[in-house]
Structure 1
Amino acid sequence: MKTDFQFSNLLGTVYSRGNLLFTPDGTCLLSPVGNRVSIFDLVNSKSYTLPFAHRKNIARLALNPRGNLLLSVDEDGQAVLTNVPRRITLYHFSFKGAVSALAFAPSGRHFAAGVGRQIEVWHTPSTPDVADGELEFAPFVRHRVYTGHFDNVQSIEWSSDSRFFLSASRDLTARIWSLDPEEGFIPTTLGGHRQAVLGVWFSQDQETIYTVSKDGALFVWKYVLRPDAPEDADADDDNMQWRIVDRHYFMQNNAHVTCASFHAASNLLVAGFSNGIFGIYELPEFTAIQNLSISQNDIDFVSINKTGEWLAFGASKLGQLLVWEWQSESYILKQQGHFDSMNAIAYSPDSQRIITAADDGKIKVWDVNSGFCVVTFTEHMSGVTACEFAKRGNVLFTASLDGSVRAWDLIRYRNFRTFTAPSRLSFSSLAVDPSGEVICAGSIDSFDIHIWSVQTGQLLDRLSGHEGPVASLAFAPDGGTLVSGSWDKTVRLWNIFARTQTSEPLQLMSDILCVAFRPDSKQIAVTTLDGQLTFWSVSDATQQNGLDARHDVSGGRKLTDRRTAANSAGTKSFTTIRYSADGSCILAGGNSKYICLYDVQSGVLVKKFTVSVNLSLDGTQEFLNSRLLTEAGPRGLIDETGEASDLEDRRDTTLPGAQRGDAAARKVRPEIRVPAVAFSPTGRAFCAASTEGLLIYSLDTVFQFDPFDLDITVTPATTLETLAEKDYLKALVMAFRLNERNLIRRVYEAIPVSDIALVVKDMPSVYLSRLLRFVAIQADESPHLEFNLIWIEALLSKHGRWLKDNRGQLEAELRSVDKAVRRIQSELSRLADENVYRIEYLMAQPVEKKEEEERKQLNWGDEDAEGDRDEEMDDDDEDGEEEWIGLE
């Protein structure tokens, strides 16, 4: 089994905090998700997460005008410069302070950062104004520092010519600055607001400035004559100044403005309020266009795309991300992650969807390819603790603390069956018979295992035998055996379909946390509270192997720990385990920042995955910083908000002792946890539910350049030369060696249809999996329908035996081909069904005999007849009539 899994995507959460950005073309939205950045393609309905990760949560993002450089800054002022198209980190940099505002100049040559009360302007790396031959010894060169504000800078806005910029601050003022000294220009302060200024913008002609403050005041500023200037004074700089010419106020019933954005080209101002309402206004008349409620909590940030059609809103309280098209009044994107910790995850049998269940009572279905949430089920009244698919994949079962087990139809998206016990219980574990006929659930309130019939919904039986709460259940893949693990330190094997329901107890040394069946149904894995991972044979109920996992799972020190991370191994254990698709490896996770992959046969640790390096979470750092340890304890546990100026910042909403839940309201520092892991049925990927979201690790991560069996003679030029010589097999192999997708496609499409069978027949087997995967992708993307089907037919007919023998390694490729063929079949059948009646209608139209004879004359008439018709047409033109005499 391959083990080089790489981080692929982050699902389960769409927005944490910080600002939202549209790309220059307005088709993609960049959203900060914890310490990572997710990009949502709004046109193609796909999302992906950039591979880099900050050491703290991201506070600000900025994109250069070309859209290829992304500057992201975390809470501590640590910045990362990224090439967005290639997803490569270029440079790390520190601003040595928290950054509250960030903006690139329209020219792309500079960017401004608000660091506390100061504004720093820096040169953008590799700017066009660098002379030829001049070297840059540092990517970031500071241009100038601007001082004058007395509190944190909240917003920075550049003029369209990049000569001036505006800044808004919490000190109730806005200021006008020039990039370089300008003759006759003096930095100007715009005062008059009674609360912190949130935003300041130039109008399209730069003759007007708009400022918005937190209390809902909008001031309009113009460059006019001073009031004390003489009546006959000239309109020069000595007699002119920026003055308020108009005042407007947002009326929103005790709600204050939390964010605002202005689109100069269309004069649209969008303001978000603390009660979840946003308003769209047209300036300078301040005409209200729309008011809409999108949340029950604060709207943290609003952004407008370049054309002014789409508005993006982020609300961190519930993790909401919305894109609203205000002209058609419709949602382009409406996503929300779980606002409580995830408890269980499940892959669908076709590996295309992932189910997440959380403490907020919601069940979400995520599409793996697009990264979006497809549907959300909210029928459960309490936290959902377990979820499991039926074997076919169209039915999902979930167990909840509200005392119910529910069955969901994933075709019609509805709850079609609810199972309950005679007495009210909180179900914590779940197992589904592979046939989908029987479902079992265990509870922390009762020591019995409840069994229901899926067809009738009736309770069939209650299995007694455990002397403690049932922590975990699992059915054997062949459906013959049920295994249960309990806090009474025993694992029991049940044969529930036999005439006498007997159970075989296996005694262990500690409480059982999780059990898992190997795919061949011959072995079970058990993890216990003392950190041991043991493997047992099902047939003779004996232990085959075991390992001490406490040292592997331990890592990371919490602020409240009195011991170092290395010495805290005694309290660590795995809480969730899953076998790989082929049963050779087992994946384990727990209350730690590590996920471990073990080889089952030898018990060796194959690979260790670090879930997060985010220091904003508790338990991610190995050593505590002694500088942050005070006489009163760690500084992170001390409430330092009592001196804040705003009431909402002073209010303490933390619950003492809370370790999970909403990080924004329940606990200042949430702990890093991995409550659930799951392997893809294809074995090509696995996912892990963590504090930050749903992490997906895959073997199919796209690389820009991933050579295979490469030598110095293989280049794109020699590949094209070989193709020109009509040596198609060699050219295709060379293209696969370079593994450059555009080159492979060019060679692939240049091969004649008559030679496809010969090329496929002689293709080396080492390249067959790559060719199969490439043809499946082409069948989905390219318009050459028959051409791709001929390739698929040739592959299956020429190498069918080899594909069957190596089916385990080619599961993902064969599924992709099957999916592509089924899609083509459905589209063709739908097209035929749509056109069959149209063709019948056209065929049934009567054709007059006279028209047939005339058509014959036109098609097969001799030259004399043609000449006669031409003369008649000329006569017709002279008479000015509108019909052909020859045809009447």
Structure 2
Amino acid sequence: MRRGVHFEPSFPAPALTTATFRQGVSYAPRGALAVLAAVMLWFVAPARGEEPPPGAARRHHPRPRSVLLGHKAGVDTIAFAPDSKTLASGSPDGSIVLWNVAAREPLGPPLTGHVKGVTSVAFSLDGNTLASGSADGTIVLWDVAARKPLGPPLIGHAEGVTSVAFSPDGSTLASGSDDRTVILWDLAARRPKGRPLGGHTDWVASVAFSPDGRTLASGSADRTIILWSLAAGRPLASPLGGHRDWVTSISFAPDGKTLASGSNDRTIILWDVAAGRPLGPPLSGHRNWVTSVAFSPDGKILASGSADRTLLLWDVATHHALSSRLIGGHRRGVTSVVWSPDGETVASGSDDKRIIIWDLGREASRR
């Protein structure tokens, strides 16, 4: 799921849905971002954790509530701050917007500092620092309150940075790259911890720390996932193989026992981390590439976004879709989905330049 070149699916769009996706590089002029806010939220009435009965689609039809508009060149990545009040979004024009979620408006002008597209953003667990990775090969650490970089960019990858993630204790940042490697950064020293982790045979699309901070997972276009021992600096076992196309996104469940992976093969696999094998057959439902997966804070629901312009919500226990139909609202491919830490909402970013906040309500968050 390379960011950049637009892809138009040839299949007909389902009702209430729309789509394009990215796969290369195309940028708007640096800093070319007009910020305005408009709102249109969506409410998703969840199903009961089983296959929906006939006619259920009508009962669980999503209703519009709200959308954030402002990006000129699409939205490639989004992340919630730990307090669920702030959302960061990155764009292929190299800009980052910090949003006041309650007010549904930007917290000032865009942050600019990258010379190519922003591919990944992540907040530290205290919410004070935002990391942004870019196709320009650099990582910028931002002081969220001051809205300025915390020193010069981190430079270590030979090609574009595709994914960034903070360790649970906030001392380390992991970055994946088009150069097929993962770098672990000592944030206090602002330098890599040892040599880059090399094991993938194609570009690294996604990195994620386990909740206990002992393991790092990396998903790659080589169709595999590697689980790395951070203490030893090497793989825990052979790569996890099960997808038939690029692994585009990975996410650990809050208990660290399950890992979800999304792929360009249109499926999602739930993995038993300890056993290193799938927990049943792949989850199928999307009509195009799965671009993003994210567990709810309680680990009971998995959200997935796709190049088919839609989202799906999955019951992790039953492996069934909670929603009775593909959840549509975007006009182009969904590039990123994230849960708010309070479990009340899911946000989705898209090539259509919009961010939709999906209000799941307390009933869904307590499932």
| TM category, shorter | 0.7 to 0.9
Aligned 8 A contact 1:592 1:673 in 2: yes
Q: Check 1:601–1:336 CA distance in 2 against 1; reply closer, same or farther (3 A cut).
A: closer
Match of 2:140 among 391, 403, 406: 406
In structure 2, what is the Cα distance between the partners aligned to 1:515 and 1:477? 13
Where in structure 1 are there 5+ consecutive unaligned residues?
A: 1-11, 16-32, 39-47, 53-86, 89-334, 555-571, 618-671, 701-768, 770-807, 811-888
The alpha carbon displacement at 1:508 in A equals 2.1
Does 2:112 match 1:378? yes
CA shift, 1:383, in A, is 0.4
> What amino acid maps onto 1:492 in structure 2?
I
1:697–1:609 Cα change, 3 Å: farther
The match for 1:350 is 83
Kindly provide the amino acid, as one letter, of the partner of residue 329 in structure 2: S
Structure 2 Cα separation of the partners of residues 362 and 391 of structure 1: 22
Distance 2:276 2:41 in 1: 47
Task: State the partner residue of 2:301.
Answer: 585
Measure, in 1, the Cα distance between the counterparts of 2:91 and 2:40. Answer: 22
Q: CA separation in 1, counterparts of 2:103 and 2:219?
A: 37
Show the counterpart of 1:237: none
**1: CA distance between counterparts of 2:203 and 2:300?**
30
| 2:138/2:153 contact within 8 Å kept | yes
Alignment CA distance shift 1:433-1:502 (3 Å):
same
Which structure has the highest strand share of the two? 2
2:327 paired residue among 595, 599, 610: 610
Q: Which has the larger Rg?
A: 1
Q: Encode CA deviations 1:652-695: one digit per residue, 9 max, x unaligned.
A: xxxxxxxxxxxxxxxxxxxx111011111111111111215111
* Alpha-carbon distance in 2 for matches of 1:354, 1:423: 27
Q: What amino acid sits opposite 2:205 in the alignment?
A: A
Q: CA separation in 2, counterparts of 1:458 and 1:696?
A: 36
1:673 aligns with 2:333: yes
Say yes or no: does 1:687 pair with 2:342: no
Match of 1:289 in 2: none
Match of 1:453 among 179, 186, 190: 186
Question: Within 5 Å, which residues of 2 pair with 1:346-495?
Answer: 346-375=79-108, 376-422=110-156, 424-444=158-178, 446-461=179-194, 462-495=196-229
Q: What is the match of residue 57 of structure 2? A: none
| Amino acid in structure 1 at the alignment position of 2:340 | S
Map 1:251-270; keep pairs closer than 5 Å: none
1:502 is displaced (CA, Å) by 3.5
Measured in 1, the distance between the counterparts of 2:311 and 2:169 equals: 31
User: After superposition, what is the alpha-carbon deviation per residue over 1:225-284, rounded to whole angstroms, capped at 9, x for unaligned?
Assistant: xxxxxxxxxxxxxxxxxxxxxxxxxxxxxxxxxxxxxxxxxxxxxxxxxxxxxxxxxxxx
Q: 1:380/1:546 Cα in 2 relative to 1: closer, same or farther (>3 Å)?
A: same
| Alignment partner, residue 696 of structure 1 | 357
Distance in 1, matches of 2:357 and 2:161, equals 28
Cα displacement string for residues 201-248 of structure 1 (whole angstroms, at most 9, x for unaligned residues): xxxxxxxxxxxxxxxxxxxxxxxxxxxxxxxxxxxxxxxxxxxxxxxx
Partner of 2:3: none
CA contact (8 A) 2:255 2:299 kept: yes
TM (norm. structure 2) is 0.77
The equivalent residue for 2:256 is 521
Matches within 5 A, 1:618-633: none
Alignment of 1:630-669 (within 5 A): none
What is the alpha-carbon distance in structure 2 between the residues aligned to residue 414 and residue 584 of structure 1? 37
In 2: Cα distance, 1:586 partner to 1:50 partner: 20
Contiguous gaps of at least 5 residues in structure 2: 1-32, 44-63
In the alignment, is the contact (CA less than 8 A) between 1:13 and 1:693 conserved in 2? no
Would the alpha carbon gap of residues 51 and 590 (structure 1) be closer, same or farther in structure 2, given more than 3 Å must change?
A: closer
Match of 2:226, SS state, is strand
8 Å CA contact 1:419–1:458 kept in 2: the answer is: no
Residues 510-539 of structure 1 deviation map (CA, whole Å, 9 limit, x = unaligned): 221111110111110112222221111112
In 2, Cα distance between equivalents of 1:467 and 1:385? 21
1:548: Cα distance to partner?
Answer: 4.2
How far apart are the structure 2 equivalents of 1:408 and 1:503?
32
- Contact persistence 1:594–1:609 (CA under 8 A): yes
Query: Over aligned residue pairs, what C-alpha RMSD do you find?
Result: 2.8
Higher alpha-carbon deviation: 504-513 or 480-489: 504-513
How many aligned positions are there? Answer: 306
Question: Cα gap change, 1:523/1:406 in structure 2, threshold over 3 Å: closer, same or farther?
Answer: same
Encode CA deviations 1:140-182: one digit per residue, 9 max, x unaligned. xxxxxxxxxxxxxxxxxxxxxxxxxxxxxxxxxxxxxxxxxxx
- Percent identity over the alignment is 27
Provide the C-alpha distance between the structure 2 equivalents of 1:541 and 1:457, rounded to a whole number of angstroms: 33
Which portions of structure 1, spanning 4 or more consecutive aligned residues, are displaced by more than 4 angstroms?
12-15
User: 1:525–1:536: 8 Å Cα contact kept in structure 2?
Assistant: yes
CA distance in 1, matches of 2:229, 2:152: 25
Q: Give the CA deviation at 1:399.
A: 0.2
- List per-residue Cα deviations over 1:469-517 (Å, max 9, x = no partner): 1111101122111000112221110011x24533322122422111111
Whichever structure has more helix as a proportion of its residues is 1
Partner Cα distance (1:437, 1:422) in 2? 18
SS class of match (1:588):
strand
Q: In 2, Cα distance between the equivalents of 1:50 and 1:596? A: 17
Change over 3 Å in CA distance of 1:336–1:493 after alignment to 2 = closer
CA offset at residue 576 of structure 1? 0.6
Deviations 1:442-477 (A, max 9, x none): 111x12211211111112231111111111110112
CA 1:502–1:382 in 2, change beyond 3 Å: closer, same or farther? same
Measure the CA separation in 1 of the matches of 2:317 and 2:153. 39
Counterpart Cα distance in 2 of 1:421 and 1:345: 22
The letter of the residue matching 2:354 is G
Q: Tell me by how many angstroms 1:420 deviates.
A: 3.5
Q: For residues 373 and 528 of structure 1, do their structure 2 counterparts lie closer, same or farther at Cα, with a shift above 3 Å needed?
A: same
1:714-725 to 2 correspondences below 5 Å: none
Task: Tell me, yes or no, if the aligned pair for 1:417 and 1:457 is still in contact at 8 Å.
Answer: no
DSSP 3-state at the match of 2:193: strand
Q: Distance in 2 between matches of 1:489 and 1:49?
A: 37
Structure 1 segment 146-157 matched on structure 2, within 5 A: none
Amino acid at match of 1:520: D
Q: Which residue number in structure 2 is paired with residue 308 of structure 1?
A: none
User: Counterparts of 2:81 and 2:133 in 1: how far apart (Å)?
Assistant: 17
Shift of 1:592: 1.3
CA distance in 2, matches of 1:423, 1:526: 24
Aligned to 1:599: 315
Structure 2 vs 1, CA of residues 377 and 14 (structure 1 numbering), >3 Å: closer, same or farther? closer
